[in-house]
């Protein structure tokens, strides 16, 4: 066995911002299902100043039930690591007929001198209702390189005060735990993560899940899959038919394809394959899937290098999360994967990183949510080569607007950057 923007904020973003920068270039798309661009649309990119300092990295985006968007990121030096968060403020100036946005002064959510910080498994924030927040990071638990725990701290006043941190796994082993994803749950925040408690007995990495309430208490703890890829990101979301978590599975023959498991709020189901790519690899590619909800179904996006062909694929669930459509290939050849995904109500918006000719670029693609055909696609930013660029993040602002964040570089230092991307019809 192996979140929707409030109507007020949607209206605020319905008009183009007064200042913008042009995208790098449009690109063509080749896909297994021949997903080609079919509409006359153009992208406006509005850069946002972030409160992140120099040598910042690992941006993540979270959206509260009321539509408030939060940016989180990591700042570190030789002595300490810090997880900071900042809400996006939307400003209206009716007399000047302008709309604008900015991030507020940063809030320190957590800090430490013994964190495990890397380019792929990054601290981040969950934002629920009634000012409930949960911040998570990784903290060393032993002398081994990969001996670390997931640590979670809860706030019930919008980040002003934080409870003492706890671990959601409670197995007490000095082993690898991480790649946690949050999803909305009626009792607080649902979670899935990779759990290495069995690796100390030379057994496989597992996938586990639980629910965290506003008091920092756990329930619905379960082992979801007994053998998974060791260090690929997980993804999770809630739909009208329950929650769904996605991850990279691992077979005894070292086939590492993307699987999904459903949670009805009380019980977890059996894992199913999103698609049998047949990627056989004797090691972890550190390149996990992402998922977003569309009503009672979900869309999953992932990277594979089956048959030595790098590809980014996307598929939609059917029959109330019990099966998936044949995938569409969004990118191939020069893609590095590192995917991000959002649903605006009108578009599926997908982001990934491509690298060729010693240059890495961030790609943004707007898709029809029913057919997964590409409506518009652009290269929107140059990013650092290699692992330094990490993974981009996406969040929905309006039907034709998304907030995107990534790790860039300024003055030879890593720097968290963000922008609003707005698709404008030319017809």
Q: For 281-307, how does the pLDDT look when each residue is reduced to its tens digit (9 = 90+)?
A: 999 999 999 999 999 999 999 999 999
d(CA 230, CA 207): 10
210 CA to centre of own chain: 19
Mean pLDDT of 27-47: 62
Q: What is the pLDDT of residues 104-154, one digit of tens each?
A: 999 999 999 999 988 999 999 999 999 999 999 999 999 999 999 999 999
E-state strands within 169-305? 177-185, 188-195, 206-213, 218-225, 235-239, 242-248, 258-263, 272-273, 290-294, 297-304
Band of the pLDDT at 91, cuts 50, 70, 90?
Answer: confident
Q: What is the pLDDT of residues 209-254, one digit of tens each?
A: 999 999 999 999 999 999 999 999 999 999 999 999 999 999 999 9
d(CA 121, CA 124): 10
d(CA 312, CA 339): 8
d(CA 264, CA 242): 5
Res. 38: pLDDT tops 80: no
User: Residues, the chain, total?
Assistant: 427
156 CA to centre of own chain: 23
User: Of 212, 378, 379, 393, nearest to 292 (Cα)?
Assistant: 393
In which residue are the tokens 């390189």 written? 145
DSSP assignment of 9-43 equals HHHHTSS--S--B--SEE-----TT-----S-EEE
How is residue 161 written in tokens?
Answer: 């005060």
25 CA to centre of own chain: 25
Band of the pLDDT at 40, cuts 50, 70, 90?
Answer: low
How is residue 85 written in tokens?
Answer: 């968060």
How is residue 188 written in tokens?
Answer: 């607080």
Give the pLDDT confidence score for residue 303 in this predicted structure. 98
Mean pLDDT of 154-175: 96
340, exposed or middle or buried, with CB in 10 Å at 0-12, 13-18, 19+? buried
Give the pLDDT confidence score for residue 37 in this predicted structure. 53
DSSP conformational letter for 306: G
CATH architecture for residues 7-425: 6 Propeller (2.120)
Q: What is the pLDDT of residues 317-346, one digit of tens each?
A: 999 999 999 999 999 999 999 999 999 999
Give the pLDDT confidence score for residue 10 in this predicted structure. 32
41, exposed or middle or buried, with CB in 10 Å at 0-12, 13-18, 19+? middle
d(CA 177, CA 144): 13
Res. 14: pLDDT tops 60: no
Least confident of 37-41, 66-70, 74-78, 161-165: 37-41
Mean pLDDT of 44-63: 96
Give the pLDDT confidence score for residue 90 in this predicted structure. 82
Residue 186 zone, left/alpha/beta (φ > 0; ψ -120 to 50; rest) = alpha
Question: Is residue 214 within 8 Å of 194, Cβ to Cβ?
Answer: no
- pTM: predicted TM-score of the whole model, two decimal places: 0.90
Give the pLDDT confidence score for residue 244 in this predicted structure. 98
Question: Is residue 312 within 8 Å of 330, Cβ to Cβ?
Answer: yes
Sign of CA dihedral 404, 405, 409, 410: positive
In which residue are the tokens 């597992």 written? 206
How is residue 254 written in tokens?
Answer: 């070292």
Give the pLDDT confidence score for residue 21 in this predicted structure. 39
How is residue 352 written in tokens?
Answer: 């990934």
Q: What is the pLDDT of residues 60-79, one digit of tens each?
A: 999 999 999 999 999 998 88
Band of the pLDDT at 95, cuts 50, 70, 90?
Answer: very low
Give the pLDDT confidence score for residue 153 in this predicted structure. 98
Res. 22: pLDDT tops 50: no
Domain boundaries defined on the chain: 7-425
Q: How confident is the prediction for the chain on average, in pLDDT?
A: 90
DSSP assignment of 169-189 equals S----SSBEEEEEEEEETTEE
Give the pLDDT confidence score for residue 12 in this predicted structure. 34
Question: Is residue 79 within 8 Å of 102, Cβ to Cβ?
Answer: no
Mean pLDDT of 34-45: 69
How is residue 3 written in tokens?
Answer: 């979140």
How is residue 323 written in tokens?
Answer: 């099966």
Which is it for strands 124-127 and 81-93: parallel, antiparallel or unpaired?
unpaired
Q: Phi/psi of residue 170, each to 5°?
A: 55, 30
């Amino acid at each position: 066995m192996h979140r929707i923007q409030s109507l007020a904020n949607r209206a605020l973003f319905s008009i183009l911002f007064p200042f913008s920068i042009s995208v790098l270039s449009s690109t063509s798309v080749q896909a297994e299902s021949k997903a080609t661009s079919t509409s006359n649309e153009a992208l406006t990119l509005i850069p946002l100043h972030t409160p992140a300092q120099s040598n910042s990295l690992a941006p993540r985006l979270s959206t509260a039930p009321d539509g408030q968007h939060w940016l989180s990121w990591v700042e570190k030096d030789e002595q300490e690591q810090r997880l900071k968060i900042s809400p996006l403020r939307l400003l209206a100036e009716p007399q000047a007929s302008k709309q604008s946005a900015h991030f507020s002064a940063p809030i320190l959510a957590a800090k430490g001198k013994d964190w495990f910080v890397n380019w792929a498994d990054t601290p981040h924030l969950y934002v629920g209702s009634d000012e409930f927040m949960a911040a998570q990071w990784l903290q060393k638990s032993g002398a081994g390189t990969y001996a670390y725990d997931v640590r979670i701290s809860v706030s019930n006043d919008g980040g002003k005060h934080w409870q003492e941190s706890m671990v959601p796994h409670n197995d007490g082993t000095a082993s690898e735990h991480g790649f946690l994803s949050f999803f909305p749950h009626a009792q607080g925040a649902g979670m899935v993560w990779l759990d290495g408690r069995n690796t100390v007995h030379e057994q496989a990495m597992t996938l586990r899940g639980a629910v965290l309430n506003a008091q920092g208490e756990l329930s619905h703890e379960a082992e979801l899959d007994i053998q998974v890829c060791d260090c690929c990101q997980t993804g999770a979301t809630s739909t009208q038919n329950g929650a769904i978590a996605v991850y990279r599975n691992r077979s005894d023959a070292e086939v590492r394809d993307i699987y999904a498991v459903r949670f009805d709020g009380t019980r977890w189901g059996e894992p199913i394959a999103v698609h049998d790519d047949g990627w056989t690899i004797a090691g972890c590619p550190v390149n996990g899937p992402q998922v977003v909800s569309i009503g009672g179904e979900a869309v999953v996006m992932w990277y594979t290098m089956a048959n030595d062909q790098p590809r980014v694929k996307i598929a939609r669930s059917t029959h109330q999360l019990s099966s998936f459509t044949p995938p569409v290939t969004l990118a191939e050849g020069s893609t590095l994967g590192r995917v991000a995904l959002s649903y605006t109500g009108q578009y599926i918006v997908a982001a990934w990183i491509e690298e060729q000719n010693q240059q890495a670029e961030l790609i943004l693609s707007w898709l029809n949510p029913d057919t997964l055909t590409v409506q518009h696609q652009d290269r929107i930013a140059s990013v650092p080569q290699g692992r330094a660029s990490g993974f981009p993040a996406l969040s929905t602002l309006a039907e034709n607007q998304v907030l995107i964040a990534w790790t860039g570089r300024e003055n030879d230092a890593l720097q968290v950057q963000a922008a609003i991307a707005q698709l404008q019809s030319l017809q």
